[in-house]
Amino acid sequence: MPPPRLIVGLGNPGGQYEDNRHNVGFWFVDQLAARLQAPLTAQGKFLGRVARRGELWLLQPMTYMNLSGQAVAALARFYKIAADETLVVHDDLDLEPGSIRLKQGGGNGGHNGLKDIQARLATADFWRLRLGIGHPGERAEVVSYVLKAPRREEQELIDRALDRCLLAWPDLAAGDYAAAQRQLHVKTVSP
């Protein structure tokens, strides 16, 4: 597999959303940018906060979750980055807090950010790093649930998952997705 050239962290811009479950993709990109010493800066042309390290781009769309594809498509088209060179990091209701799944392609699971990216790239063949946030139990509660901060014990599990993702970064950066999956797809242990 080709190594990723674009890492997209999904979330919503603005201080009121900063600690929300829906922003775990932003949290990962913030931590990766710090690790790579690649500061994120606003770039209107790409509708987001962007950092570059060699051939690698980091992106936090500032379009709000439901329009994430606008920013992804703008950067990917400008730099001719293929879908299989793109890794989208996002929250996942179907996974328990602390669980991680890495896969290429597939459905969007009702995630509006993924829906928009699929529509604007005209493919679902990008990679996804799915970070579990758990489910509120009732479909009607999903919107308010993702727009709230995790409980303390959930936050600890999510933080550990983010640490595991950073530990797997060398394999991800090399395009060795199978090795990254072996590191990431482990059973979570409660704090």
Q: How confident is the model at residue 10 (pLDDT cuts 50, 70, 90)?
A: very high
Annotation: binding site: 17, 64, 66, 112
The overall average pLDDT reported for the chain is: 96
| pLDDT at residue 190, rounded to an integer | 53
Side chain identity, residue 74? A
Average pLDDT estimate for 4-11: 98
Q: Are 163 and 123 in contact (CB under 8 A)?
A: no
pTM of the model: 0.96
Query: In terms of DSSP bridges, do strands 56-61 and 48-53 run parallel, antiparallel, or are they unpaired?
Result: antiparallel
| pLDDT at residue 1, rounded to an integer | 85
CB atoms within 10 A of CB 122: 9
User: pLDDT tens digits, residue range 112-125?
Assistant: 999 999 999 999 99
Which residues are marked as active site? 22
| pLDDT at residue 53, rounded to an integer | 96
pLDDT at 134 over 70: yes
Q: Give the number of C-alpha atoms closer than 13 A to the C-alpha of residue 133, restricted to the C-beta side.
A: 25
Q: Which domains does the chain have, with CATH numbers?
A: 6-184 (3.40.50.1470)
User: pLDDT tens digits, residue range 71-102?
Assistant: 999 999 999 999 999 999 999 999 999 999 99
Average pLDDT estimate for 162-181: 97
Q: Are 92 and 133 in contact (CB under 8 A)?
A: yes
Average pLDDT estimate for 56-63: 98
Annotation: binding site for tRNA: 17, 64, 66, 112
Side chain identity, residue 70? Q
Residue 116, judged by CB atoms within 10 A of its CB (0-12, 13-18, 19+), counts as buried
Comparing 190 with 5, the larger pLDDT belongs to: 5
Q: How confident is the model at residue 186 (pLDDT cuts 50, 70, 90)?
A: confident
